[in-house]
Amino acid sequence: MAWKTLDEMDLAGKVVLVRVDINVPVENGVVTDATRIEKIVPTISDILAKGGKPVLLAHFGRPKGKVVPEMSLKPLVPALEKALGVKVAFAPDCIGAPAKKAVAALAEGEVLLLENTRFHEGEEKNDAELAAAMAALGEVYVNDAFSAAHRAHSSTAAIAQILPSAAGRLMEAELKALEAALGNPARPVTAVVGGAKVSTKLDLLGNLVSKVDHLVIGGGMANTFLVAQGIDVGKSLAEHDMADTAREILAKAKAAGCAIHLPVDVVVAREFKAGAENEVVPADACPADAMILDAGPEAVAQIAKVFEASKTLIWNGPLGAFEIAPFDAATNAAAAKAAELTRAGALISVAGGGDTVAALNKAGAAADFSYISTAGGAFLEWMEGKELPGVAALMH
Ligand code: ADP
Ligand code: MG
């Protein structure tokens, strides 16, 4: 890996510009979920311990290049002070005289938060002039915002070309976990891809079939693959116009030696609601008036066997309509199996995606996974095999 970590940087007495993702939910000026703030603590603490002066660059909301007072980062100062345990100063702009003055006044052991980078039009255009104005404030650049790394912005990409740069601890952990899962994984590698639709995950499926040994397809998207094989799925969620695409993915998998696992049995119901009357049928026997809402017990047993034969697992997308019981059963059982194998040291397990993280939390399995990515879009783009500008910019 060609990016540097904090360990390789001399930070003593230096002003360190740190790009963080603290785009937290705020209600009436109060932070309601500080998870993202807590995640940057190791990076800031390490910079302080090395004698550096952390100056935080961050975005908040979508002000679209204009100053929108409701999207000021200032209300986050108390939550930052609480999480970091040090004084946090604030500058009303991320460049220019106000920022320079605040940096000059910053004492050792303190942190400075600069105003929303997206108040400047250049930010989302990866403008070099804006990047230079930000870079002029410090001596070193650290990017700890993996979740913003899929965007080429001045504070995530251009600035890294100007200053000596490194990955923060959160970025480092994320990149190492992803590298272990797809970059240079222990084989066999299994990917689970579920969720609602094939159409939102085409690039992801296309990339995975050439990289993994087993691909388990679940959720609504499995229905589309069943349709592609000429199977009638009744009233199930399925993208009938994607059947050709699904067949292409199956052919690509075959050519690459990737084994595809579709559910052999399914749970069907007539209503999409919690506790709806349901039955287990073979995957090719969905009644015309019913819909498939989960994978069946035989499918779950097969998935468990695939997991047992794997050394690495990467998971995006639930296996069924996990929000409504009992259609969370297959997702819960597969998650429990992955958790058990990971605990036993037999499996490296990495998962990401908004609903996936929610489903694994609901299953009580998230804590046992090797790594859970909360990076959302950046995680998915990485699974699609795309280069992330914020990561590429750190390569030296
Ligand atoms: P992620 O956010 O982790 O990338 P997705 O958004 O792709 O995941 O998919 C999650 C959604 O897929 C959930 O809302 C879930 O209810 C839905 N889903 C899964 N299986 C089915 C199914 N058989 N029928 C209808 N919806 C399903
Ligand atoms: Mg989703």
Q: Which of 67, 121, 62, 123 is nearest to 92 (CA)?
A: 67
Place of tokens 């998915």: 380
In the predicted model, what is the mean pLDDT of the chain? Answer: 96
The reported pLDDT for the residue numbered 239 is: 96
Active site residues: 36, 197, 354, 377
Q: Which ligand is nearest to the CA of 324?
A: 1
Ligand 1 atom closest to 321 (CA): 16
Q: Which of 59, 56, 165 is nearest to 393 (CA)?
A: 165
Could you give the percent of the chain with pLDDT greater than 90? Answer: 95
Ligand 1 centroid distance, CA of 211 (Å): 23
- Mean pLDDT within 277-292: 98
Q: What is the token pair recorded at 59?
A: 């975005």
Ligand 1 atom closest to 323 (CA): 16
Domain limits at 253? 185-383
Residue range 287-303, pLDDT digits in tens: 999 999 999 999 999 99
Nearest CA to ligand 1 atom 10: 195
Same domain for 114 and 159: yes
Q: Residue 49 falls within a domain, yes or no?
A: yes
Q: Is the pLDDT of residue 1 over 60?
A: no
Last residue of a domain, one of 143, 172, 201: 172
Q: Which ligand is nearest to the CA of 318?
A: 1
Ligand 1 atom closest to 197 (CA): 7
Q: How far is CA 136 from CA 51, 55, 110, 153, 163, in A?
A: 20, 12, 19, 17, 9
Q: Which residues does a 6 A CB cutoff place in the pocket of ligand 1?
A: 194-196, 219-220, 237, 292-293, 316-318, 320-323, 353-356
Q: Residue 11 falls within a domain, yes or no?
A: yes
Q: What is the token pair recorded at 154?
A: 């001045």
To test the pocket of ligand 1, the residue of 266, 271, 355 to mutate (highest count of ligand atoms within 8 Å of its CB) is 355
Q: Is the pLDDT of residue 188 over 70?
A: yes
What pairs with residue 279 in β-bridges?
Answer: 268
What pairs with residue 266 in β-bridges?
Answer: 281, 295
Q: Residue 341 falls within a domain, yes or no?
A: yes
Could you give the percent of the chain with pLDDT greater than 70? Answer: 100
Q: Residue 392 falls within a domain, yes or no?
A: no
Last residue of a domain, one of 144, 172, 200: 172
Angle between helices 243-256 and 202-209 in degrees, nearest 10: 20
Q: Look at 198 and 77; give whichever has higher pLDDT.
A: 77
Report how many domains make up the chain.
2
Are 58 and 23 in contact by the 8 Å Cβ rule? The answer is yes
Same domain for 234 and 317: yes
Q: Which ligand is nearest to the CA of 296?
A: 1
Residue range 36-94, pLDDT digits in tens: 999 999 999 999 999 999 999 999 999 999 999 999 999 999 999 999 999 999 999 99
Same domain for 192 and 137: no
Last residue of a domain, one of 172, 205, 240: 172
The reported pLDDT for the residue numbered 396 is: 75
Same domain for 75 and 11: yes
Are 57 and 16 in contact by the 8 Å Cβ rule? The answer is no
The reported pLDDT for the residue numbered 6 is: 98
Instruction: Give residue 74's Cα distance to chain centre.
Output: 26
pTM equals 0.91
Q: Is the pLDDT of residue 143 over 70?
A: yes
The protein residues having their C-beta less than 5 angstroms from ligand 2 (an ion) are 354-355
For residue 69, the domain's CATH number is 3.40.50.1260
Ligand 1 atom closest to 380 (CA): 4
